[in-house]
Structure 1
């Protein structure tokens, strides 16, 4: 029997944050989608699984290439939106999927593996549903970060909140208890090559992708501020006065970044990895 305590925690956290995530990080995470589909070789007639489909961004773009797509996600609200946009999506959290062995030609996971409590186990499940010769492509937040990824974390520190050393920055859409040692992996291109190789993939590739996320001061803050009150790492959540200080520091630090047409340009760095199942 599977111990579902950590998975239940993860499910509840994502449902809690679902609206904030959809309002702020969905556009951010959409940037590498075309490169993700290219790395997987998505083309007409393929049967594609979009794991962690969210609102269906990657699934819709795969459909526009002529692929047949199934989407799965833990967020019921995202599933509703994905279905509303024409994606065949269902609520099935990793690491257990309701599909037969070798059912798909391609598996996509856009910013999913690093948001799971059992990433290696989940990767093995994605491998199981991929046919021999099929391809997998993943994006995830890596060890190297762009300056825009540290904006809110810097504002928190300047406003009087110091995160524990092992706590992800508030800028990251990742909220997990510490991973078990046998599930952890190195979030670098070399680490991704090793992870995919150990999972049985060949013809592997891993690289960094960089981009400037365009947003406004208010928009970026709005999707993140409530996280200051919900994170379990804080023994005492920040009060309104502390939040006001953080907001003031956030606005001050935002002035460091270039703007275009009234939008902040926040540098981001992520990893893109792919492989073939032989």
Structure 2
């Protein structure tokens, strides 16, 4: 396990409730395109890796698929089990999965590959559990992040708070680009991999986005905010409010742009 993986386990411990109230609403947009790309339908044996609160798994079940799900965080796995009654969900940390070779028709992961320290090893493991002819579909954030992904980070930068030395940088600062993501998946045993951009608008309440992200320590930006003194947090919040004002829509809400990459391939 890399230092990044160890950091991720600590980062997400206990964060399932805050993630479910906030960031889950953002990442839910790509669920249907993800399952479409993996051709998930009635009778498909599908593995949902990094299931989080179970949004992907729930949609796959609604399509009539036979779903197994895993998450590295026990709290996330418990949340998924609550949200998707009867779901076969287990705790497992990539790049090790507790399944036999070639057991699934489809493997999907919604914003999980960018949370592993060794993406190539993780992809090799996903390939191992996928049957020949089976489908892989993965999403990641497009880098550099913007809009919904970056408003807190942009506010932190405006205030001049540096990135802490003890917070490792995700490999997807490199791989979160269309050609790099596609090349990574192709070189991991999926030579027909195709990567497509996916963009949408996330409409939310700016105060709720602040509470469920920055103040709840969801993601590294939230961790950085949590380490600051009261005066610095206030300065970050003021910068955040100025940034959010540029995205304002009717009703006191904001419409934030979101940009991701969807890669799909056949084993």
TM over 0.5, shorter chain: yes
Structure number with the higher helix fraction is 2
**Alignment partner of 1:177 is 2:182:** no
Aligned counterparts of 2:19 and 2:159: Cα–Cα separation in 1: 23
- After superposition, the Cα gap between the structure-2 partners of 1:195 and 1:5, relative to the gap in structure 1 and judged at 3 Å, is closer
Aligned position for 1:94: 94
Number of the residue aligned with 2:110: 110
Tell me the distance in 2 between the aligned counterparts of 1:229 and 1:69.
Answer: 27
TM-score normalized by the length of structure 1:
0.85
Check whether the contact 2:214–2:223 (CA below 8 A) recurs between aligned residues: no
Match of 2:51 in 1: 53
Structure-2 change in CA distance of 1:136 and 1:230 (3 Å): closer
Quote the residue 2:253 is aligned against.
263
Look up the match of 1:217: 206
Per-residue deviation, 1:200: 1.3
What is the distance in 1 between the residues matched to 2:218 and 2:18? 12
Relative to structure 1, is the Cα distance of residues 258 and 12 closer, same or farther in structure 2, using a 3 angstrom cutoff? Answer: same
| TM value normalised by structure 2 | 0.89
Matched, 1:249 2:209: no
C-alpha distance in 2 between matches for 1:45 and 1:260: 43
Q: State the aligned residue count.
A: 263
Shift of 1:185: 5.2
**Mapping of 1:133-148 within 5 angstroms?**
133-148=133-148
2:228 pairs with 1:238: yes
Name the SS for the 1:137 alignment partner.
strand
SS of the residue 2:193 aligns to: strand
After TM superposition, the structure 1 = structure 2 runs for residues 191-210 of structure 1, keeping only pairs within 5 Å, are: 191-210=180-199
The DSSP-based 3-state class of the residue aligned with 1:95 is coil
Per-residue Cα deviation, 1:217-255 (whole angstroms, up to 9, x for no partner): 111101222339977996x93101110111122112211
For the Cα contact (< 8 Å) 2:200–2:258, is it kept in 1?
yes
Alpha-carbon distance, 1:191 to partner:
1.5
Query: What value does the CA root-mean-square deviation take over the aligned residues?
Result: 2.7
Structure 1: which 5+ residue stretches go unaligned? 168-174
1:141 and 1:270 in contact (8 A); partners too: yes
Query: Which residue pairs with 1:171 in the alignment?
Result: none
- Say if 1:237 and 1:35 are closer, same or farther in 2 by CA, change over 3 A: same
